[in-house]
Every structure is written in C-alpha cells, then in structure tokens.
Amino acid sequence: MLRESAGHALTTTSIQRRPITKTSAAVAVVGCGYWGSKHVRVLSGLPSVSQVFAVDANSQTRDQMKTAFPNATVAPDLAGVLRFVDGVIVATPPHNHVEVAALALRAGKSVLIEKPITTSLRDAQRLVRIGKRNGAAVVAGHTYEFNPIVHDLRRRIVAGEFGEIRYLHSERLNLGLYRTDVNVIWDLAPHDISIMNFLLNETPRSVRAWGVSCAGGNMIDVAHFQLEYPENGIVGTGFNSWTDPRRVRQLTIVGSKKMAVFDDVAEEKLKIFDHSVKLQTIPVTRSAVAIDLPAATYNRGDVIIPKIDYEEPLHIEDRKFVEGLLNPSRDSTQTHSGVEVVRVLEAIDLSIATGKPVLVKNRGAVPVH
Ligand SMILES: NC(=O)c1ccc[n+]([C@@H]2O[C@H](COP(=O)([O-])OP(=O)(O)OC[C@H]3O[C@@H](n4cnc5c(N)ncnc54)[C@H](O)[C@@H]3O)[C@@H](O)[C@H]2O)c1
C-alpha cells in the first residue's frame, strides 16, 4: 500500500506501482476538496480501477483523504505520482486546471477536467492540441451529460414527443459559495450550457447576457443569459445566482405538444406535462372593420413521472473515463463539448461587458455592432 510518510512528501522512489491488467487502470484525482473527494469515492468503488491516487496540495485535506479512503494513495503533487498513473482527473479550482492538465497530457496521460475545463478558450484549445500531440484524450467533466434523466429527455426530444421545442430555461441558484477565481457564470452556467447543447445536439449561434455584482466588489454573482441556437432559432435561457435564498437546479422544456420540468433537487426529479398552448388568430368584423383576434386553446392533460433507471451520473462519468483509458483507441466526443462550453462562456462575459449580443464564432466571441 502506498502512503505519504508522516511529515514527508511522497517520493517517487517509494512508490511501487501495482501491476496494470487489461481490465484495470490507476487514476489520480488532483484536488480532493468538495468535488474531487466525490471522484475519489467513486473511483475507489470501481472494479476497473486498480489504484486511486488522491493528490492535494493541502495537508489537512490529505489527512481527511487518508482517513476516509484508507486504500487510496495520498500525495501532495501530481508530478511525483504521474508516472504511476494511467489517467488524471483534474478537480482543482478552475484557474489552475490548465497547468495541472497540461502536465498530465505532456506525459501522455488522458485527463478528465472538471467544469469549466479552462478559464479561457485559448487555454482549452491549447490543451486539446497538447493532448493530440501526445496521444492523450481531454474529457470534460460535464456531469449532466452522463445523467440518465438528461439522456431520457434527449431521447424524447429526438422522438418528437415534445413537438417543436419552443424554448429551454435553466436555473441554478444558491446562497454562495463565492469562488475567487471565476464568476457565477463560469461556476454554474457550464452545466446549463452543456445540458442545452447536449439536448439540442448543437451549439449556440449567438448570446445575450446581463450580469451584476450584487454583494459588492467586482465579481459577477447574478446573471441572466440567452442562447440562440441556429436550428429553428430555438432559444435557451439561463439564470445563475450566488445570492439566492433557495438552492435551485431546474430545467424546463416547453414544446408545442408537451412540456417537462427536470428538478435535480426534488425527490421526483422529472415530470412530463401533457400540456400545450396554441395561439390562433380568428378573423372577425367589428363595426364593418375586419380584424384578427388572437384566440388561445389550452391542453391540460396528465402529468407523468416517468420511471428511469438511475445510476449516479458521476459514477457513469468516471466509469466511462476509465473505459477510455483501457481502450484508448475509442474517440472521445467530450473534448468538443468542453471547448464549446468555454467558447459560450467567453461570449457571455463579452455580452455582459459590452451590453450587446455576441456571435459565438468558431474562433471565439465577436460583438454584434
Ligand atoms: N461537476 C460538478 O457538478 C461540480 C460540482 C462542484 C465543483 N465542480 C468543479 O470541481 C472543481 C473543484 O471544485 P471544488 O468545489 O471541489 O473546490 P475546492 O476548493 O473544494 O477543492 C479544490 C482542492 O484543490 C486543491 N488544489 C488546488 N490546487 C492544487 C494543485 N495544483 N495540486 C493539488 N491540489 C490542488 C485544494 O487544496 C483543494 O483541496 C472546480 O473546477 C469546480 O467547478 C464540479
């Protein structure tokens, strides 16, 4: 068993790597705070993982990892354990994802990087290039893309169950936690954007956004954004806040035939509404003048709570990442998703800064004059 000796940094010479079989891999989680510790938990229970390295710069966090996961190997930095692992999960704060991921990729190790994969489009593209050069994959930790409920919704959209999609609306609100390296959009909106891109199978053409710093200082802590998708001009809207009294994780889909609400903090997470509204104009003659009057017809049918076989999304995400390590030839579409989300985040920032709509171009955000 590998351990950090008391009071000393782990040295590479003290490490004996367990034999890697065709069916298992050694994985390092770098950053074992709130979210990284969940990766350590999930990986520790995967039969396809031979060894988990819990890497954290903070000695108290390392102590907590040792106690909570006695079978994991604890280390203070990635460099010291890199040659003993097959893949790396980057769960440090967003501003140093690029540095940690680049170190792993240069050593030919595939990475799963937590959202947002980087804090700039340039860095995201740079990581993809480094990965390609070294034969290593860059996978985005967009947890909702592994969520069985989101997959169920996409299946229903593709099957036409909702009819024409009128709009999507996503809310992600809570009181804190304030991050110091990214604003509320880069913290929370990666989920909203990745879900919408995944459901519609495309990326937005343009973005409009508004954001303010409610609690003082310069950090934007409340934001609204609107994403316009090219196909049929579908609009997705989002609301993110670190200053809301409620904890909300909710997506609404409104279609011409049916509607849905995915509430990730509710017990009954998905509800499908056999509800719709149709607006027609009826020609009438008033005082010898012909006019068109709007007339709405409403359908208020059943509300269904579908049964969905649920597996923890993080479990699916990590399992698939490890499968990719064991079958490296398998192409990862996740890279595309990570870069596209960062591209939209930059466009949202620019729209807030300029107060104008912004085109989301292949090369980055461009303000609409
Ligand atoms: N997918 C999700 O649903 C989800 C949820 C929450 C957070 N996240 C993401 O996970 C990442 C981490 O967030 P968090 O809330 O766990 O942060 P956190 O502050 O709780 O933990 C970060 C940890 O990284 C360690 N660290 C920092 N730099 C390091 C380095 N160079 N080497 C080793 N350790 C280092 C810190 O000591 C700390 O323990 C962020 O990118 C965040 O956006 C994702």
Instruction: Tell me, using a 6 A CB cutoff, whether residue 94 lines ligand 1.
Output: yes
Instruction: Tell me, using a 6 A CB cutoff, whether residue 119 lines ligand 1.
Output: no
What pLDDT does residue 364 have?
82
Query: Would the pLDDT of 359 be above 70?
Result: yes
CATH code: domain 145-310+341-367 is: 3.30.360.10
What pLDDT does residue 293 have?
85
pLDDT digits (tens, 9 = 90+) for 290-300: 888 888 999 99
Instruction: Tell me, using a 6 A CB cutoff, whether residue 93 lines ligand 1.
Output: yes
pLDDT digits (tens, 9 = 90+) for 9-41: 333 334 444 444 568 999 999 999 999 999 999
Q: What's the CA-to-centroid distance between 105 and ligand 1, angstroms?
A: 19
Q: How far is it, in rounded angstroms, from Cα 94 to Cα 117? A: 7
What are the extents of the domains in the chain?
Answer: 12-143+316-334, 145-310+341-367
Q: What's the CA-to-centroid distance between 95 and ligand 1, angstroms?
A: 10
CATH code: domain 12-143+316-334 is: 3.40.50.720
pLDDT digits (tens, 9 = 90+) for 199-233: 999 999 999 999 999 998 889 999 999 999 998 78
What pLDDT does residue 334 have?
56
The model's pTM is 0.92
Beta bridge partners, 157, equal: none
C-alpha separations of 26 from 89, 108, 150, 233 in Å: 11, 14, 29, 45
Sheet bearing 358-361, strands edge to edge: 289-304, 270-286, 259-263, 243-255, 165-175, 235-241, 222-228, 206-212, 358-361, 364-367
Instruction: State what percent of residues in the chain have pLDDT above 90.
Output: 82
Q: What's the CA-to-centroid distance between 94 and ligand 1, angstroms?
A: 7
Query: Would the pLDDT of 333 be above 70?
Result: no
